Amino acid sequence: MVERPDGRDDAEHVLRYGIIGTGMMGREHITNIAHLDGAIVTALSDPHPDSLDRARRAVDTDTVATYTDHRDLLDTGVCDVVVVASPNHTHHDVLLDVLDAGVHVLVEKPLCTTVDDCLEVIDRAAATDRRGRAVWMGLEYRYMPPTQRVLTEVRAGTVGEVRMVAIREHRFPFLMKVGDWNRFNRNTGGTLVEKCCHFFDLMNLVTGRRPLRVMASGAQDVNHLDESYDGEVPDILDNAFVIVEYEGGARAMLDLCMFAEASRNEQELSIVGDAGKVEALVSEGVVRIGRRADGYGNVRTEQVADDSVRHAGLHHGASYLEHVALLDAIRTGSPAAVTLTDGLWSVAVGVAAHRSIDQGRVVELSEILG
């Protein structure tokens, strides 16, 4: 359990949550927290009045405190846990303040929009570390039930040594955000950071190795080209192929298309090793498991769901399961299962992919991280 200056014991008390950034994802966190035992949202912060009002109405209590400045929320001391769900380009400054406050924290992806900002946040977390404090990186795609099932098979040795990972996301365009901040790379870090850090994190997790180099091809071919904001056209990519090579020789590939609403299955994950293959049709909840020793075509198919999920929400229950894991870590004083370093590496691969596209060459991760 965390050592707290106010004497509170987080293993025994109802944990008080604050939400910084109360847009769509902030409200999703509010709903997930409402389904947790021993947790309550006590404070909200957002400079946008409409977002703040919508979030206030989403909290099932009239006593929630609201602030337009996250520093005021932190100064009051009414929160044990803070969720940072503000726009990507604000994460760096907000996180420095949150880490200094000493509370538990979950930060939504991406950690920051640049590698340098990620490194500064990691350094601040280390400098302000307190025994038992949970600092959790919000990469909830790890917790989607079909993905969890596939990961279980990989860890059990079903595929043997992982050699190839392929992830496909074919989906709809970026949604509208407050102030349209997500239409520009300067605010998001770029599509391959903003959206695809989830997938690069899964690649890193599945291979269990560090990425070495990235090759990518991508463009903005369809989406947002007819939009204009103060005379400026959005510059976010809407499709890409990305190949990542890893220590030990494993390779991973991302196939991203954000004008593919005509897809039956939004996300697919395939992992092949020297002994077998596992794959997940994530959105449909289908998992297929096969071993080479069983012969060609001898594949077991499972429909996967997690009955413990109380709120499916936007990510098939993944955000709820992430919150359950975070709450358990806080109660037991265990280390975060998803760390800021995981967030750094997922951002670094995205940054390398954008550089590869911009410069038309292979990019070494050593260029990005030094």
pLDDT value at position 1? 43
Query: Taking 60 as the threshold, does the pLDDT of residue 118 lie above it?
Result: yes
CA 86, 91, 92 angle in degrees (round to 5)? 160
Instruction: Please report, for residues 44, 46, 66, 104, the alpha-carbon distance to residue 99 in angstroms, rounded to integers and kept in the order given.
Output: 17, 18, 20, 8
Three-state DSSP class for residue 349: helix
135, two tokens:
């600092």
pLDDT tier at 9, thresholds 50, 70, 90: low
- Fold for the domain defined by 141-311+338-369: Dihydrodipicolinate Reductase; domain 2 (3.30.360)
User: From CA 356, how far away is CA 350, in angstroms rounded?
Assistant: 10
- Has domain 15-140 been given CATH number 3.40.50.1000? no
User: From CA 175, how far away is CA 183, in angstroms rounded?
Assistant: 9
User: From CA 65, how far away is CA 235, in angstroms rounded?
Assistant: 37
pLDDT tier at 220, thresholds 50, 70, 90: very high
Q: Is the peptide bond before 110 cis (omega within 30 degrees of 0)?
A: yes
pLDDT tier at 62, thresholds 50, 70, 90: confident
What is the mean pLDDT of the segment spanning 191-205? 98
Q: pTM for this structure? A: 0.95
**Model confidence pLDDT, tens digit, residues 336-346:** 999 999 999 99
Most confident listed range (159-168, 177-186, 303-312): 159-168
User: From CA 246, how far away is CA 231, in angstroms rounded?
Assistant: 42
Query: Taking 80 as the threshold, does the pLDDT of residue 233 lie above it?
Result: yes
Residue ranges per domain, the chain? 15-140, 141-311+338-369
pLDDT value at position 5? 42
Query: Taking 60 as the threshold, does the pLDDT of residue 65 lie above it?
Result: yes
